[in-house]
Structures are given as C-alpha cells and as structure tokens.
Copies of this chain bind each other. A is one copy, B any other.
Amino acid sequence: MATITVPDCVPSVQEDVEQLHKAFSGWGTNEDLIINILSHRNAAQRNAIRQAYAETHGEDLLKALDKELTSDFERAILLWTLESSERDAYLANESTKRWTSSNQVLMEIACTRSPKDLVLVREAYHARYKKSLEEDVAYHTKGDCRKLLVPLVTAYRYPGDEANLVLAKTEAKLIHEKIHDKAFSDDDIIRIISTRSKAQINATLNQYKNLFENDVEKDLEAECENDFVALLTSTIQCLAYPEKYFEKVLRDSINKRGTEEWDLTRVVTTRAEVDLKIIKDEYQRRNSVPLDRAIVKDTGGDYEKMLLALMGHEEA
C-alpha cells in the first residue's frame, strides 16, 4: 500500500542524473526539478540514480544535495534518497545519540521492519559505523528501557502465520498477572514481546481481550506517565497495529505547537513505499481530516511539496 507514483514512462537513469546535475548548477537550485525526479522513482530506481551520479560526476548524490538544500526539505530528500537499510541505520544511529524520546525511533525500526530487513539494517550499521547496532543501543540506554530495546533491535522473529493458541492463553494470563502486580518490566513480559512472532503476539493479545475484557494497551495506559510503560505500550501497538501506531506519531507531530518535523519526515519517507496509504486512511478515520490537508496546514515551501509528492500528489 505505497503512496508514491512512478510515471509510466520513466526517463533513463542517465537522463535523471543529468537533470539533477543541472538542478544544482548555476545560480540557485531548482528544487522543483529535484522533487519531480526523486519523489517519483522507486527504491531500485533511486539507487541506480545515486550510483550513476557518483560514476558520472565523481561525487555522492547525497553530498551534492547536502550542499544545495537546507533544513527540513534537505532531511526529507536525504532520508528518501538513502537506500532503506542504510536509512534505518542512519536513523537508529542518530537515535542512540539523543535522549529518551528517541527510544521510540529505535523501537519503531525494530518492530515495523521485516525480520530479514532488520538484519540488513544491522549489516548496514556495521558498514557505516564500524560498530554493531546493539552495541550502541546497549551503551546509550539503561535500566528498563535497555532491557526492552536491546532484545527488540536484535530480534529475528519467526515470520510465519502459525499461532499456538494454548500458549497464547498461558502467556496472556502471565502478562495480565504481571500488569496487575505492576511488574511492567518483568522478564517474562520482555521475553514474550521481544521474541514471539507477530502472529503469536497477536493471538496472545486476542486471548487477553477474551479473558480479561480489555486491551492490554488500555490496561497499560493507566500507567502511562511512566516512560517505560509508554515505550512498552507503543511497542505492542507497533507489533500488532502498525498503522495505528504511525497514525498516532503523525497526529502528535502535527498537533504539537509548531510541528515535530523530524517525526513527520521520518514517517512519510520511511512508509511512502510500504504502507502510507493505510496510514493515511487511518489518519482520516481518526481525525476526520485528510492527512494531506493537515500537512498543508502545518508545513510550507519545498518541504511541503516534497511530502505531498511522496503521498501521491502529481508533479509540483
């Protein structure tokens, strides 16, 4: 459920490279041209452009863009142009260096990428930072958040659809018991959330609802002034209903006084080729306003144009 549109007749890679080069040359920069090209190419096409650009002009396209562009627009173009595992490695690395709010980003990457893609992110992290992702996560976090985040970023979950319902019932009861005792960071809660397959976790959440007539998240939300519990709650949401998780990130980022551009940029650039269509629908349902309109209201200029293009609007 991607939102981006690729023209039926895509120019050759070399043509795109020359157009981009022209957009940087001379006095001023042709931002519209940059947007029109890059936002309407899929991942494989963007990679081919980046490679051909380096071969033809002896400079990484990202370096060239970095020289020409600024602030939120630059960040959107940068994240969009990076190859997806490299982009996630970049976002994760950045998050290990900021404070607690960025735990959310690490969790988001760990829980919404496929198991195989998460391994590719870890590989890209090695290549780019000469360290392992878990090494940095473990080093820069502590306490309960570390206890949850390290197994999340190192998980290689079973991707199959099978679920063991007896096990789901047992573990639903176990989770309920721990929440009742306010033992939120109990070893077993962490174990279940960080190692079980998504299908199994889903079955467990359903059993929880059947048995205790409430969602786990609701039972946890009563405690949400606690940072760790807030992280745990969004982890569960991310695993079970990613579109609801992303809708909330967008809603929070747009409704804040000013706009949390980093969150907005991240969600749009990382999901545009995956499930942004579903997230948009969820946004409309929850806010009674189309996401594009909310974005137009809160952003402007080339940044706005870029986001709208990624959301499927035609040429700027």
Contacts and interface: CB of A to CB of B under 8 A. Distances in A.
A195 B134 contact: yes
B126 A187 contact: no
B130 A156 contact: no
In the assembly, how many copies of this chain are there?
A: 2
Contact of A126 (B123, B155, B159): B159
Contacts of A158: 126, 130-132, 135
A196 B154 contact: no
A194 B139 CA distance: 11
A157 interface: yes
A151 interface: yes
A197 interface: yes
A117 to B, nearest CB: 13
Interface string A26-65: 0000000000000000000000000000000000000000
Given A142-B187, A191-B139, A197 B151 contact: no
Of the candidates A122, A132, A142, the one having the most CB atoms from chain B within 10 angstroms of its own CB is A132
A184 to B, nearest CB: 17
Contacts of A194: 134, 138
A195 B132 contact: yes
A119 interface: yes
Nearest to A123: B156
A296 B96 CA distance: 55
Query: How many of chain A's residues touch chain B, expressed as a range?
Result: 20 to 34
Contacts of A157: 132, 135
Nearest to A159: B126
Interface in A231-261: none
Which are the 8 A-B pairs with shortest beta-carbon distances?
A: A154-B154, A135-B195, A138-B191, A132-B158, A122-B156, A134-B195, A138-B195, A131-B158
A134 B150 contact: no
A174 to B, nearest CB: 11
A162 interface: yes
Contacts of A196: 135
A160 interface: yes
Of the candidates A123, A139, A195, the one having the most CB atoms from chain B within 10 angstroms of its own CB is A195
Contacts of A135: 157-158, 195-197
Nearest to A146: B187
A154 B126 CA distance: 15
A156 B154 contact: yes
22 contacts: A119-B156, A122-B156, A123-B156, A126-B158, A126-B159, A130-B158, A130-B162, A131-B197, A132-B157, A132-B197, A133-B156, A134-B151, A134-B195, A135-B196, A135-B197, A138-B194, A138-B195, A150-B151, A150-B195, A151-B151, A154-B154, A154-B155
A138 B157 CA distance: 13
Contacts of A150: 151, 191, 195
Interface in A158-200: 158-160, 162, 187, 191, 194-197
